Chain A
């Protein structure tokens, strides 16, 4: 089959690889009908996520049709049309039973690698996202093996198009969880979203769905800001305005009640802090560039929430902790517990509250994917979200 393969830092390619097979009786094989490139795939492209190996199949946002199931699979049958959460969860461990699916104890076969970095515990496995997260082959391919097939895949029974449900696999629940984590008081709270990429777009619209009085979106890319503005958000271009001043003015000097950092570890930012971050990252002294996080802590209102859907990898410093303490902020963060959001968000799509396909700007075949990785990374041609058809 055809698959998108990580070939080294800043190198992805299309290669012919063996078709996946069932490795365990609880596996299923999915024929992928739609897959997408995620912003977090860019961290893999840039080589800032450790433990990638040449030849790994990428991709964690995918959906398709079940073509084979293992003998212990009960809920899924051949022919089912499913969306598959990007995180892999066993469904029986204590974190899974508490709905903390991304914190699954049991799904990462390479637990020791994550344990060494993260204080003796490992999160669950992820599709196509480094060996630290299990080394599972991803879904930017014609077929994919899905472990724990009774736990992750969610059947789509309505006639919604792929493009309307594909993002239930990651960016929609990720943006939604970021907004949910804020504990928005409807009609009262102002929410600021740093980063107007796909997750930021879904975070902003989710904040609106959850009743935020006002949503402000901060980015530097005009077409991203235009997309947020079209949804009724106020926008701030941080290259044209002083973000902290603009946020204070927009909120009567209080600051936004909650701030969502949908940027994460590779913030561009500007100013001396951003320069220091970049230099340290180049010298391998640091994984993370944290301009967005600094702005989030500095701008947030007293008693507010700083919600982090953006991915952080390692150790960070020059964090304005004094500001966070002085204002009594709450931090909420972590990998999305995708499984628990799919059904309620699917209902919202079916009810016509939101059509997630608004975020798509580029559609292509697998053969075009390597070019589109670069287009997406460099934010050229108005690129916000790429959807791939593995059979085109």
Chain B
């Protein structure tokens, strides 16, 4: 994230009851102890199981969790390409080049109430005043809402925001608009950081349930590019095939 992002308010800091190590990429202590216990329990269940396959599966999943707890690292998160900041936030970013001037693209993003059209997992953004807004997001468990405030607004260059203290999911993000070299238009860079409930395990669970923020962001950016460059999205929905009428995967 860029340097001028304001320090998060104290409430968004890690819970003080669970001291964490300073080493980058290390799992929070609570997550480690839960993982360790579950891992040991699974290994035990695996060893007791009469069925060889179950023994193998439970044993190895258990051993894996125990190893994560012991080393304080979550290789599964790395394998699933879940990126984490040293502070334990999940980081999602992507970029796209769009053949339009930065000022035009900035204006579309600056209309916060219109953001749900760009970012489809956003259900609604309600503008409260010049800096504050109320965000609602679809989550596997239902909708989640929080208040956010603009932390930077540089016309034609950058918009940044952060959830206000007390948010159910701590998060902050920014959009950069950079002139692309040559006559290619504008590079739009989006960076989002959030603290998933349940730490990296929570992020993995969300991924396994089909919530893929990185893919969602990619799709959102491509949809935005096509809307800006073409004015519509290409489609094959409803075209003919020898499947059921209107059937198109």
Residues of A that sit less than 8 Å from B by CB: 1, 3, 5, 7, 15, 17-21, 23-26, 53-57, 88, 90, 92-94, 97, 105-109, 111-112, 115, 125, 131, 134-137, 145, 147-148
Given that A109-B236, A137-B236 are known contacts, is A92 also in contact with B99, CB under 8 Å in the complex?
Answer: yes
Q: Tally the A-B contacts, defined by beta carbons under 8 Å.
A: 90
Show 29 A/B contacts (Cβ-Cβ < 8 Å), sorted by A: A7-B242, A20-B239, A21-B240, A23-B235, A23-B236, A23-B237, A24-B232, A24-B234, A53-B243, A53-B249, A54-B243, A56-B242, A57-B241, A57-B242, A93-B229, A94-B185, A105-B225, A105-B229, A106-B226, A108-B234, A109-B233, A111-B222, A112-B215, A115-B218, A125-B234, A134-B236, A135-B249, A147-B234, A148-B234
Q: Which residues of B, 203-249, contact A by the 8 Å Cβ criterion?
A: 215, 218-219, 222, 225-226, 229-230, 232-243, 245-249
Given that A94-B185, A106-B229, A106-B234 are known contacts, is A112 also in contact with B249, CB under 8 Å in the complex?
Answer: no
The answer on a CB contact under 8 Å between B245 and A18 is yes
Given that A55-B242, A56-B241, A92-B230 are known contacts, is A24 also in contact with B222, CB under 8 Å in the complex?
Answer: no
Contacts of B242 in A (CB 8 A): 3, 5, 7, 15, 17, 54-57
Chain B residues touching A, majority SS: loop
Contacts of B222 in A (CB 8 A): 111
A147 to B230, CA, bound (A): 12
Number of interface residues of B (CB under 8 A): 29
Chain A residues touching B, majority SS: loop
Given that A24-B232, A94-B184 are known contacts, is A112 also in contact with B218, CB under 8 Å in the complex?
Answer: yes
The answer on a CB contact under 8 Å between B238 and A109 is no
The answer on a CB contact under 8 Å between A106 and B230 is yes
18 additional A-B pairs beyond A18-B245, A20-B240, beta carbons within 8 Å, are A5-B241, A15-B242, A21-B238, A25-B232, A55-B243, A55-B247, A56-B242, A57-B241, A90-B229, A94-B99, A94-B185, A106-B230, A108-B234, A112-B219, A134-B236, A136-B236, A145-B239, A147-B234
Contacts of A23 in B (CB 8 A): 235-239
Contacts of A26 in B (CB 8 A): 232
B97 interface residue (CB < 8 Å to A): yes
Contacts of A108 in B (CB 8 A): 234
The answer on a CB contact under 8 Å between B229 and A92 is yes
B183 to chain A, nearest CB (A): 8
Q: Which residues of B, 137-183, contact A by the 8 Å Cβ criterion?
A: none
Identity of the chain A residue whose Cβ is nearest the Cβ of B97 in the assembled complex: A94
Contacts of B236 in A (CB 8 A): 23, 109, 134-137
